[in-house]
Amino acid sequence: MKRKQFLKSLALLPLIGSTMHLRDLNKMTSNMSNTGKMPVLFLGHGSPMNAIEENEFVEGFRTIGRSLQKPNAILCVSAHWETRGTFVTAMNNPKTIHDFGGFPQALFDVEYPAPGSPDLALETQKLITKTHVELDHKWGLDHGAWSVIKHLYPNADVPVIQMSIDYSKPGRHHYELAQELNSLRHKGVLIIGSGNMVHNLRKVAWNKLHENYAFEWATEANETMKKHILNGDHQKLIDFKSQGTAFDLAIPTPEHYIPMLYALGLKDENETVRLFNDKAVGGSLTMTSFIAG
């Protein structure tokens, strides 16, 4: 779209109205200039304690962070922001949300002061036609986002926005919605899904939290998921509710699984997938993560 046409279309958006000055428009268009294509990530975030502990999973996040070119911005779909409808954070300075309990004070003391990006929020809203997207000014960055992004970019110098998960929609909706965001990858935006492929807190073996231990059903589900991911068989992963007992136990509720569908929806057909942090925790959780690009 030519610059003149783009500015004209922006003028029609009621959310911009007469308050946006020419310098704001210039800033928006310059920020959306094309760059090298960014990969897409799915990160198994696990316990909030991964934000402050030193372990192999944290090192896995850091290693991936070092392998990436620095993005212009990050869009994160976190398991911990469920809404009815779809929202994107649009504030300049998102707060660090400590959305958990029962952990050491040191974890509550962590702040991740990354800036937001109202421009990226507006561009995300414009790209999505599958559903109406609301701009949010109240949420911030929950631990599904900051606890892992802080290891990728510890200086908190990359703007971050979050997009919520509409809990009323099926897997196919989320997969197709993700596809509408693909052009952002060509504009320097790193898109991250943050959750866990296998996530059943009710069945955690608390006495094995520090072991690489998985129940048989968790291993079966994780191995099957990985096979479908590597083979590009996304349909079975989209239809996760029809894949048998192991999947039912691995995904008792879908909020930690759905961010993976966003990452798969954003993967182009000719792109390769590389797995990392592929281990189980506490019997009923897996930290399996992947990068596609």
pLDDT tens digit sequence for 227-276:
999 999 999 999 999 999 999 999 999 999 999 999 999 999 999 999 99
pLDDT digits (tens, 9 = 90+) for 81-99: 999 999 999 999 999 999 9
Assess whether pLDDT exceeds 90 at residue 24.
Answer: no
Which DSSP string do the residues of 10-47 spell out, in sequence order?
HHT-TTTGGG--HHHHHHHHHHT---SPP-EEEEE---
Say yes or no to pLDDT of 35 above 80: no
DSSP secondary structure letter of residue 69: P
CA distances to 6, 103, 122 from 258, rounded to whole Å, are: 33, 26, 23
DSSP state of 265: H
As a whole number, the mean pLDDT across the chain is 90
Lowest mean pLDDT among 4-8, 28-32, 191-195, 278-282: 4-8
Say how many Å lie between the first and final Cα of the chain, rounded.
Answer: 26
If 0-12 CB within 10 Å is exposed, 13-18 middle and 19+ buried, where does residue 15 land? middle
Q: What per-residue confidence (pLDDT) applies to 33?
A: 52
CATH for the 38-292 domain, from 1.10.3720.10, 3.40.830.10, 3.40.50.1010, 3.60.15.10? 3.40.830.10
Amino acid at residue number 113 = P
Spell out the SS3 assignment of 176-236: HHHHCCHHHHHHCEEEEEEECCCECHHHCCHHHCCCCCECHHHHHHHHHHHHHHHHCCHHH
* 3 state DSSP class of 113: coil
Reading the block at residue 258, the tokens are 């759905």
How confident is the model at residue 209, as a pLDDT?
85
pTM: 0.88
In whole angstroms, how far apart are CA 80 and each of 83, 114, 147, 226? 10, 18, 12, 23
Range 265-292 average pLDDT? 97
* Range 213-239 average pLDDT: 98
Residue 59 in tokens: 């090192």
| Count of CB atoms situated within 10 Å of the CB of 262 | 26
Average pLDDT over residues 211-218: 94
Least confident of 12-21, 59-68, 151-160: 12-21
* Segments making up each domain of the chain, as ranges: 38-292
C-beta atoms surrounding 89 within 10 Å: 28
